[in-house]
């Protein structure tokens, strides 16, 4: 585990530091999405707010995590599948927001539905967020 974490960091040209190891560990342990606040809580205020922000930003830049926009305006982050290269996210999956447990889950196996846009419109990107009850809360 410890080795895996360090390896991921090195592979992305990030120096291996305490905060990065800890935060990456959280993402690996949690299979849902994490908001900035969740991370602060789970690390027990061990790291400065600023460090958490900067760490998330580095992970985003490197393509280790991706961000998920939600209606409540609190950005969440989740691990990318390992084929995201630096600066090139291709997280073509929908996100599920459970109104029971509050978790945000990446549904990697559900591919994006096709949408027929009106004449003249050209779509490039699509964000789909479905909310409801997840399999544990049903």
Partner DNA sequence: AGGTTTATGCAACGCAGTTGCATAATATTT
Partner DNA sequence: AAATATTATGCAACTGCGTTGCATAAACCT
Sites of contact with a second copy (CB under 8 A):
67, 69-71, 73, 75, 94, 96, 99, 107, 109-110, 113-136, 138
- Select 44 or 118, whichever has its Cβ closest to a second copy: 118
Residues 116, 121, 127, 128, CA torsion sign: negative
Partner that binds at residue 55, options a second copy, DNA, none, CB closer than 5 to 8 Å by kind:
DNA
d(Cα 66, Cα 84) in Å, to the nearest integer? 9
Q: Tokens for 36, please give them.
A: 């900035």
Q: Are 95 and 54 in contact (CB under 8 A)?
A: no
Partner that binds at residue 122, options DNA, a second copy, none, CB closer than 5 to 8 Å by kind:
a second copy
Among 4, 53, 81, 129, binds DNA (CB under 7 A): 53
- The reply on whether position 47 binds DNA by CB under 7 A is yes
Structure-token match 């996100």, residue found: 95
- The reply on whether position 104 binds DNA by CB under 7 A is no
Instruction: Give the N- to C-terminal CA distance of the chain in Å, as an integer.
Output: 32
Task: Give me the least distance between CB of 45 and DNA, in Å please.
Answer: 9
Contacts of 126 (CB under 8 A, 6+ apart): 112, 115
- The reply on whether position 49 binds DNA by CB under 7 A is yes
């Amino acid at each position: 585990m410890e080795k895996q974490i360090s390896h991921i960091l090195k592979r992305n040209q990030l120096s291996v530091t305490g905060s990065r190891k800890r935060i990456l560990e959280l993402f690996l342990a949690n299979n849902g999405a994490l908001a900035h606040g969740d991370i602060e809580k789970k690390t027990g205020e061990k790291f400065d707010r600023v460090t958490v922000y900067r760490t998330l930003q580095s992970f985003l830049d490197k393509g280790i995590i991706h961000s998920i926009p939600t209606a409540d305006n609190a950005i969440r982050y989740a691990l990318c599948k390992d084929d995201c290269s630096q600066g090139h996210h291709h997280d073509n999956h929908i996100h599920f927001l459970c109104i029971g447990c509050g978790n945000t889950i990446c549904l990697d196996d559900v591919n994006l539905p096709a949408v027929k846009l009106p004449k003249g419109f050209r779509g490039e990107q699509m964000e789909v967020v479905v909310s409801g009850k997840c399999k544990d809360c049903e």
